[in-house]
Amino acid sequence: MTTSHHQDRPAGETGPRHAGHVVGARPEPGFEITVDGRPLTAVPGQTIGAVLYAAGVRSWRTTRFDKRPRGLFCGIGVCFDCLITVNGEPSLRACQTEARPGDEVTTG
């Protein structure tokens, strides 16, 4: 069975998600994703929105009619301003989508 990008969970993880496992943690080694063919480094647990923000990218799409720039706005999954395509799966929220090694992100 194939699951979509945003539904994957680590093996053995069954309970509710929480951030307690990162208290006092050090980042694991980074890995590469590409954004419109540009290689960017991500760390485990980092969202694609955070990867873009850390790389200095503040907008990655435009509104349909006025062509106004959009990127992270709410950062919590409410506004849908941060939509991206990951590995061909469209309309994912960058602020809610965890980067995974080799992800191919397209914007626009």
Contact residues for ligand FES, defined by CB under 6 A = 72-75, 77-82, 93, 95
Residue 75 beta carbon to ligand FES: minimum distance, rounded to whole angstroms: 5
Q: How far is the C-alpha of 51 from the C-alpha of 45, rounded, in Å?
A: 10
Q: How far is the C-alpha of 51 from the C-alpha of 15, rounded, in Å?
A: 26
Residue 26 beta carbon to ligand FES: minimum distance, rounded to whole angstroms: 27
Q: Quick one: 25 or 54, whose CB is closer to ligand FES?
A: 54
Residue 102 beta carbon to ligand FES: minimum distance, rounded to whole angstroms: 22
